[in-house]
């Protein structure tokens, strides 16, 4: 299997003013693409058999090192692009709304816990909403780590590596995370991932 850089599911300027075209250009076109290029170089000699990116993540985790780092980052970034939308943000609707209420008590509680988890992720990483059976949880992962390797089902993710927000928010990670929830989070994608 070969890694590919997916097209963004929106125009580069569609998320402004919450995420600039400059940020997306560097993040997608430079950072994500570098993981694709390096990952494919490493995969050429890896002899891994996988039919999906998710399977490739799990198989590359058994190898670890640079191979997993690049494959994991390809998966995490691809999932992130789908976790944001130009028409996203605000309170959820549909099954994800009921699941959030059941797991966190309210949307406001969820938002507070999600932002706090992202702020509390030391250094580079990710903050995820995952399904663990019938329960939703918020988990943090460092670097290229992903809930897939822990048997959890990703529902949404926000990238908290500095390149995800620094051009727009400088060192204000809490403001970026709040803006992600208020303006960008793709609840339609979350609803798809609950099924």
Query: Any idea how long the chain is?
Result: 195
pLDDT-flagged residues of the chain (< 70): none
CA–CA separation, 116 and 112 (whole Å): 6
Q: CATH class for domain 95-194?
A: alpha beta
- pLDDT at residue 1, rounded to an integer: 86
- pLDDT at residue 158, rounded to an integer: 98
Torsion of CA 39, 41, 45, 51, to 10 degrees: 40
10-28, pLDDT tens digit by residue?
999 999 999 999 999 999 9
**Domain locations in the chain as residue ranges:** 21-83, 95-194
For 21-83, the fitting CATH number among 3.40.50.1100, 2.60.40.10, 1.10.287.990, 3.40.30.10 is: 1.10.287.990
Nearest partner of 75 among 146, 140, 16, 127, judged by Cα: 146
**Integer angstrom CA distances of residue 39 from 1, 32, 67:** 11, 10, 6
pTM above 0.75, yes or no: yes
């Amino acid at each position: 299997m070969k890694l590919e850089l997916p097209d963004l599911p929106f125009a580069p300027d569609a998320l402004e003013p919450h995420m600039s075209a400059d940020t997306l250009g560097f993040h997608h076109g430079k950072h994500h693409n570098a993981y694709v290029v390096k990952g494919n170089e490493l995969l050429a000699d890896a002899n891994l058999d996988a039919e999906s990116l998710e399977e490739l993540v799990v198989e590359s985790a058994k190898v670890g090192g640079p191979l997993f780092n690049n494959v994991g980052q390809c998966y995490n970034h691809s999932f992130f692009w789908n976790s944001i939308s130009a028409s996203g943000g605000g309170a959820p609707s549909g099954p994800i709304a009921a699941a959030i209420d059941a797991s966190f008590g309210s949307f406001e509680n969820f938002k507070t816990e999600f932002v706090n988890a992202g702020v509390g992720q030391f250094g580079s990483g990710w903050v995820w909403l995952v399904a663990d059976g019938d329960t939703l949880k918020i988990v943090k992962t460092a670097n290229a780590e992903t809930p897939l390797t822990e048997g959890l089902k990703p529902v949404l993710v926000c990238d908290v590596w500095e390149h995800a927000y620094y051009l727009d928010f400088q060192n204000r990670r809490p403001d970026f995370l709040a803006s992600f929830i208020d303006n960008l989070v793709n609840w339609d994608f979350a609803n798809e991932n609950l099924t």
